[in-house]
Amino acid sequence: MPDTKSSCCTVSRASSPVERTAVSFANKKVSTEGMIHLSGGNFMMGTDDKEGFPADGEGPVREVTVDSFYIDATTVTNENFKDFIEDTHYKTDAERFGWSFVFYGLLPEVILQSHPQVAAHAPWWCAINGATWDHPEGKESNLLKRMDHPVVHVSWNDAMAYCQWSGKRLPTEAAWEYAARGGLVQKKFPWGDELTPGGAHRCNIWQGHFPDYNSLEDGYLGTAPAKSFKPNNFGLYNMSGNVWEWCNDWFSPDFHQRDTRVNPQGPSEGNAKVIRGGSFLCHHSYCNRYRVAARTSNTPDSSSSNTGFRCVR
């Protein structure tokens, strides 16, 4: 298992030639519909598990306190994001750049032939012109039968814009992990330590041989509907697998070791933002970051076919 921060299922834009100006939206009536109220409290955050990635800063295990909050039961869906776009006419980073990263296994052969892989450390990614939240595999694709799936090809900037519009915010990394654990103490997954208890799949990840063969044992090649599989004990869906979820915090592999243990906020600055939960591309042979304590990062303007978000307030 590689002891590095790189992940098989994340990929970043090398630079940001498109200027991003501040956005401001008219106040929207804030609602907690579709959200779960969590009372907050103390929990054991992080892991010292030998299956983890120490260089990612997964450990040490430490007691953390978070205040009560509401959190979306699911990731923001295509239908949710469509409402935001129609109301604000916001342009996502993928639209402003004109392209986004798409996993090559989701693309037809004719597109693959004209779009070579672009990431040396992860050659299964292609930069596809016209790939956006509503055209997830490029201009000829659409969201037909996927309105209840997580929105993807959204950057951290895009997620923050949605949060401003909806009167919500992105979760801190600590709040995200508290919610994902569902009240369980130091378990690998939101449901326990066994990946497929009783032979039942509990998340959308890669099965088979990554990246060239997916046996589809869990039923999905790409994203699954946001309410797939059994929720955790807090009633939250897909806290492991399906899509990576943006958090508010800047990423650091060691800042948490000196950060406060009460409502930690992460570093005050950085180059990349924390993402949590893993995605449909995670596989134990390379990137088992679908574990609840796993963490990685991406730059705020990056977008891909396996990254979304959920909100808190």
pLDDT in the model for residue 19: 58
Residue 108 lies in a domain: no
| 273 occurs within a structural domain | yes
- What local confidence, expressed as pLDDT, does residue 13 receive? 78
Q: Structural domain tally of the chain?
A: 1
Tell me if residue 287 falls in helix, strand or coil: strand
Assigned token pair, 151: 């929105």
Cα(179)–Cα(90) distance, rounded to whole angstroms? 29
Report whether 293 contacts 190 (CB < 8 A). no
Domain-located, residue 138:
no
Give 249-274 as a DSSP string.
EEP-SSGGGTS-SBS----S--SSEE
Q: Would residue 27 count as lying in a domain?
A: no
pTM over 0.85: yes
- Tell me whether residue 232 is in a domain: yes
With respect to residue 8, please indicate whether it lies within any of the assigned structural domains.
no
pLDDT of residue 259: 82
Q: What is the pLDDT of residue 186?
A: 97
Residues in the chain, pLDDT under 50? 1-5, 17
Q: Is residue 128 part of a domain?
A: no
Q: Answer whether 68's CB lies under 8 Å from 40's CB.
A: yes
CATH number at residue 63: 3.90.1580.10
Q: Does residue 213 fall inside a structural domain?
A: yes
Planar angle of CA 150, 290, 160, nearest 5 degrees: 45
Length of the chain: 313
59 is in which domain, residue-wise?
A: 35-90+151-308
